[in-house]
Amino acid sequence: MREYIEQISGKLPDEAWILYQQNLKAMRSEKGQLILGLHKPCKTIWHMTKGAVRKLEMDNGIEKTTHFYVAPKVFTVLHSALTGEPSDLSIISEEDCEFLTLDIDQLKILYQQSIYIERVGRRMAEEEFIEEFSMRRMFLKLDALQRYEYLEKKHPEILRRFQLKDVATFLGVTPETLSRLRKLRLSV
C-alpha cells in the first residue's frame, strides 16, 4: 500500500509513513456484502489491497453505477466524508476484498501533523479530479458505442470483473442498449 500511495504522492519519509500506517486497521468483506449502506455518513477511507468494489446510487428504484474500483485502490465518498452528511452513494463488494481502513476524523488530525500526509491528500484529490473530468468528457464527446469502446480499450479489467448490466448504467445506457451495441460491434 505504501508503494501504491507513493506512486501518486511521491516518496514519503519513513516517519510520515509510520504515522500514517499506525492509524490503519485491517478489514475484510465478502462478495455481495455492503461496505457502505445508503444514507449512512461515510466516515472511512478504504485502502483496498485485494478485490473489487462498485459504487452506486439509486435513481427511481434503478441502480446506477458511478464507479468501479479494483485493488490496489484508495477510495471514500468524499462529499459525505467532508461534511458528515449521509451518503447518497452505496458501496458493495463485487469480490472477496481486503482493506486497510482509516477513520476520517483521524485523517484530519494527521493532516495537521504532517505536510507529507497533507500532500498525499492533495495529490489523491488531484488525480481523482482528473479522472472524473476525463469521464465527463466521454459524455460530451462520445456516443454510447464509442463510450463502450473507450472503456474496453482503457479499462478492459472492468469488463472482466464486473457485470454488464452495471457497466451499462456506468456508461449511461440501459442494459438492453449495451447488449445491442456489443452485438453490433462483433458483426463489424
Positions in the binding site for its own copies (CB under 8 A): 57, 59, 64, 66, 78-79, 82, 111, 115, 118-119, 121-122, 125-126, 128-130, 132-133, 135-137, 139-141, 169-170, 172
- Residue carrying C-alpha cell 504515522: 19
CB of residue 63 to DNA, shortest distance in Å? 9
The residues near 114 (Cβ < 8 Å, ≥ 6 apart) are 15, 16, 19, 20
Cis peptide before 175 (omega within 30 of 0): no
- Nearer to its own copies by Cβ, of 111 and 150: the residue is 111
Check if the beta carbon of residue 138 is closer than 8 Å to that of residue 150. yes
132 binds, among its own copies, DNA, none (CB under 5 to 8 A by kind): its own copies
| Nearer to DNA among residue 47 and residue 147 (C-beta) | 147
Angle between helices 14-21 and 115-141 (to 10 degrees): 80
Residues 8/123, Cβ–Cβ less than 8 Å:
yes
Nearest approach in angstroms of CB 104 to DNA is 31
Residue 59 binds which one of its own copies, DNA, none, with CB within 5 to 8 A depending on kind? its own copies
- Phi and psi angles of residue 61, each rounded to the nearest 5 degrees, phi first: 80, -5
Shortest Cβ 144–DNA spacing (Å): 3
Distance CA 7, CA 182 (A): 35
- Provide the minimum distance between the beta carbon of 73 and DNA in the complex, in angstroms, as a whole number: 22
DSSP class of 87: P
Nearer to its own copies, 112 or 187 (CB): 112
Say if residues 89 and 10 touch (Cβ distance below 8 Å).
no
Binding site partner of 180, from its own copies, DNA, none, Cβ cut-off 5-8 A by kind: DNA
Q: Which residues here bind DNA, judged by CB under 7 A?
A: 143-145, 163-166, 172-183
To DNA, the closest distance from the beta carbon of 151 in angstroms equals 14
* Complex with DNA: residue 119 or 180, whichever CB lies closer: 180
DSSP lists the bridge partners of residue 65 as 56
